């Protein structure tokens, strides 16, 4: 009987004093909870940053290797060898007297000046202007006609 009371009492004792201690524990656990919450937020942000970096890294490596995402986004550049094969001729003033401009640098093409002719559309530009353009794009800067990289 006594043993049964002893067994029952601690339970009672705890239950009675839980109100008093609860405030202590609550004040304490609130700090702990806040700390845990902060750590959770910190790790969540860390994970997000990590994922973001990985996504960017994947995209940049894709761009470097010419992967499927970059192929759709980045225009295909032409080789210097292909560009140098495009014909260069001396510019002749148009018979109608119209002022012909290099649409890249917007300066007028002078009679007798060297111009590079694009094979796909026949548009003329300064060789140095269009060479720099074709190293990043494979289309005519004026009419956007695509220039096949294998075109002589």
The residues of the shown chain that bind Zn ion, judged by CB under 5 A, are: 102, 104-105, 121, 123, 126, 129, 140, 142-143, 145
**The total number of residues written for the chain in this structure:** 152
Q: Cα–Cα distances in Å, from 78 out to 85, 98, 101, 105, 116?
A: 11, 31, 23, 20, 15
Query: For Zn ion, which is the closer residue by CB, 102 or 134?
Result: 102
The least distance separating Zn ion from the CB of residue 96, rounded to whole angstroms, comes to: 19
Helices (H), the chain: 2-65, 68-73, 80-84, 127-134
Closest CA to 102 of 70, 71, 145, 131: 131
Cβ neighbours for 74, distance < 8 A, ≥ 6 positions apart: 63
Query: For Zn ion, which is the closer residue by CB, 70 or 103?
Result: 103
Query: For Zn ion, which is the closer residue by CB, 63 or 104?
Result: 104
The least distance separating Zn ion from the CB of residue 123, rounded to whole angstroms, comes to: 3
The least distance separating Zn ion from the CB of residue 128, rounded to whole angstroms, comes to: 7
The least distance separating Zn ion from the CB of residue 148, rounded to whole angstroms, comes to: 14
Query: For Zn ion, which is the closer residue by CB, 88 or 145?
Result: 145
Query: For Zn ion, which is the closer residue by CB, 73 or 110?
Result: 110
Per the rule left: phi > 0, alpha: psi between -120 and 50, beta: everything else, 97 is: left
CB 91 within 8 A of CB 109: yes
The least distance separating Zn ion from the CB of residue 47, rounded to whole angstroms, comes to: 49
């Amino acid at each position: 009987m006594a043993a049964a009371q002893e067994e029952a009492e601690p339970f009672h004792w705890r239950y009675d004093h839980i109100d008093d201690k609860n405030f202590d524990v609550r004040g304490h656990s609130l700090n702990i909870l806040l700390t845990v919450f902060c750590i959770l937020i910190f790790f969540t942000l860390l994970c997000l940053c990590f994922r973001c970096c990985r996504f960017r890294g994947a995209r940049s490596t894709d761009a470097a290797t010419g992967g499927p995402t970059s192929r759709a986004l980045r225009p295909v550049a032409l080789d210097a060898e292909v560009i140098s094969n495009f014909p260069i001729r001396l510019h002749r003033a148009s018979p109608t007297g119209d002022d012909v401009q290099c649409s890249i640098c917007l300066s007028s093409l002078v009679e007798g000046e060297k111009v590079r002719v694009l094979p796909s559309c026949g548009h003329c530009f300064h060789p140095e202007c269009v060479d720099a353009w074709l190293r990043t794009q494979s289309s005519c800067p004026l009419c956007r006609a695509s220039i096949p990289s294998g075109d002589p």
